[in-house]
């Protein structure tokens, strides 16, 4: 059986275009951290490193899977990012952005499997970021989220909806950081059709 997160995990990846509260448990990720404008080539190179590793992990899993295992294959999860500003600013300066980009891994993928895939990549090519990749569990907990459609530059309007929802329902944002989940490839999708889940952690105020 092939595990497809789009079908099986709609509670986490099927956000609507109106704010909603979701309780996000701990998940395992491969991740890279960085600083600066995501439109610069360095960011794209790090994204490429993560996807190369994600697919290497997947292919190794398929080769090693026994006939009696329920899941024989799986769809690679989408790119995600945690974003914050290195200093308090009224207007966003993209050069001051701090980020951790990541790709979630299924629960049955172990750190040993990740290490094996890393070593396999290192034998094939010289990737300047592969040794910086970390395998880590992240627990978001209770969050508010919304599906944003269109340009990343228009995200402030969607964040205003999230902030208003929190104010109306007695929630308070607890971190100056938010998560973005990119449901399609910006290099292959028209700007108006881009779909991004915006999410940040909250508590009852």
**Per-position pLDDT tens, the chain of length 205:** 899 999 999 999 999 999 999 999 999 999 999 999 999 999 999 999 999 999 999 999 998 876 667 788 999 999 999 999 765 555 678 888 999 999 999 999 999 999 999 999 999 999 999 999 999 999 999 999 999 999 999 999 999 999 999 999 999 999 889 999 999 998 899 999 999 999 999 999 8
Count up the domains in the chain and report the number.
Answer: 1
C-alpha–C-alpha distance, residues 166 and 144, integer Å: 8
Q: Domain for residue 64, yes or no?
A: yes
Residue 5 lies in a domain: no
In the three-class reduction of DSSP (H, G, I as helix; E, B as strand; rest coil), residue 122 is classed as helix
- Does a structural domain hold residue 7? no
Has residue 133 been placed in a domain? yes
In a domain? residue 2: no
Provide the domain limits for residue 175: 14-204
Return the bridge partners of 62, or none.
none
8 part of a folded domain? no
| CATH number of the domain where residue 198 is located | 3.20.80.10
Indicate whether 40 belongs to any domain. yes
Strand ranges (DSSP E) for the chain? Answer: 2-3, 20-35, 73-74, 79-85, 97-105, 134-149, 171-173, 178-182, 195-204
Count the neighbouring beta carbons within 10 Å of the beta carbon of residue 123: 7
In a domain, 192, yes or no: yes
Tokens representing 137 are 């569990």
């Amino acid at each position: 059986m092939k595990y497809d997160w789009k079908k099986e995990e709609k509670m986490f990846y099927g956000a609507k275009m109106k704010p909603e509260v979701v309780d996000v448990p701990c998940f395992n990720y491969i991740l890279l951290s960085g600083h600066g404008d995501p439109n610069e080539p360095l960011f794209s190179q790090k994204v490429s490193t993560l996807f190369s590793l994600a697919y290497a992990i997947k292919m190794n899993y398929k080769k090693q899977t026994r006939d009696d295992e329920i899941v024989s294959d799986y769809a690679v999860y989408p790119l995600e990012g945690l974003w914050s500003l290195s200093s308090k600013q009224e207007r966003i300066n993209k050069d001051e952005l701090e980020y951790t980009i990541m790709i979630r891994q299924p629960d049955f993928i172990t750190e040993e499997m990740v290490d094996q895939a890393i070593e396999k990549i290192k034998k094939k090519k010289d990737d300047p970021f592969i040794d910086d990749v970390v395998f880590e569990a992240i627990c978001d907990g209770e969050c508010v989220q919304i599906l944003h459609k269109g340009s990343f530059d228009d995200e402030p309007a969607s964040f205003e909806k999230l902030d208003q929802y929190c104010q109306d329902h007695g929630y308070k944002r607890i971190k100056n950081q938010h998560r973005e989940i990119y449901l399609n490839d910006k290099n292959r999708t028209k700007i108006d059709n881009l779909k991004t889940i915006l999410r940040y952690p909250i508590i009852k105020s």
